[in-house]
Amino acid sequence: MRLVLLGPPGSGKGTQAERLGPLLGVPHVSTGDMLRAAVDDGAALGRRVRAHVEGGTLVPDEVVGEAVAGRLAKPDAAAGFVLDGFPRTVEQVAILDRVLERLGTSLDRVLALDASEPVIVRRLGGRRVCPGCRAVYHLESRPPRSAGVCDACGAALAQRADDDVAVIRERLRVYEERTVPVARAYEARGLLRRVDGSGEADVVFEALRAAVAGP
Ligand code: AP5
């Protein structure tokens, strides 16, 4: 199963992809996670993308396209993947088409999560992440057992730089301008299924499962 998970910041793409991947037996491939790991490494790619990732603007298409091409060519993605955060521009749709054509395959489905702006702002404002193992928490909906400490590895939790209120607004603006046309492009191909992402995580997961299994 080759899936793309679309949706505005905070709609729950990462949360749901972490569950869909194991359900389908395929890796969760997140361009946001890949780019943040590069920033943390401090290597050339990280230095090039840092301002974009922390400021909520898009990394150039060719840079992120190259990273995705390399990742999808790895053996663990041969049987499928849940792609989270890519494509987010119409140009990236064409890049993904070329990558999949080279690999002799194609997308099965594109799932578009949605949530209202107040829900998004509440989710992103309350998100805490582990800089060590990258586990994701929420102060209300998914709190760690001990305040401020990662359940999995014991590291001190932090906020993502782009979860600042002004940066959230910029990310939403960029999403409307650059990524909404991506959903329309996949809708025109008959691949898109829209799923309400505003409910509790278990409810959203069941809706996604139904959208994957359905016609
Ligand atoms: P990326 O990491 O992809 O960020 P994003 O799309 O803005 O999405 P988020 O990770 O913020 O949200 P999410 O939808 O995954 O929500 P989550 O599940 O964490 O990209 C970051 C940056 O990298 C971009 O701004 C850009 O600079 C760059 N980049 C990445 N890809 C790129 C590309 N293709 N091209 C160019 N640049 C690119 O949930 C959020 C919070 O809510 C969590 O705390 C979670 O626990 C909680 N939560 C989730 N679901 C629920 C629920 N149902 N109920 C209650 N709480 C919930």
Report the amino acid identity of residue 146.
Answer: S
pLDDT of residue 98: 98
Catalytic residue flag (residue 160): yes
Q: What angle do CA 97, 198, 51 make, to 5 degrees?
A: 55
In this prediction, residue 214 carries a pLDDT of 85
DSSP at 87: -
Pocket of ligand 1 contains residue 27 by CB under 6 Å: no
Give me the pLDDT at residue 11, please: 97
Q: Is the CB of 8 under 6 A from ligand 1?
A: no
pLDDT at residue 95 in the model: 98
Q: Quick one: pLDDT at residue 43?
A: 86
Q: Which residues of the chain have pLDDT under 50?
A: none
Enclosing H/E stretch for 100: helix 90-102
Looking at ligand 1, which residue's alpha carbon is closest to its atom 9?
9
Q: Which of 2, 36, 127, 193 is catalytic?
A: 127
Question: 65: Cβ below 6 Å to ligand 1?
Answer: no
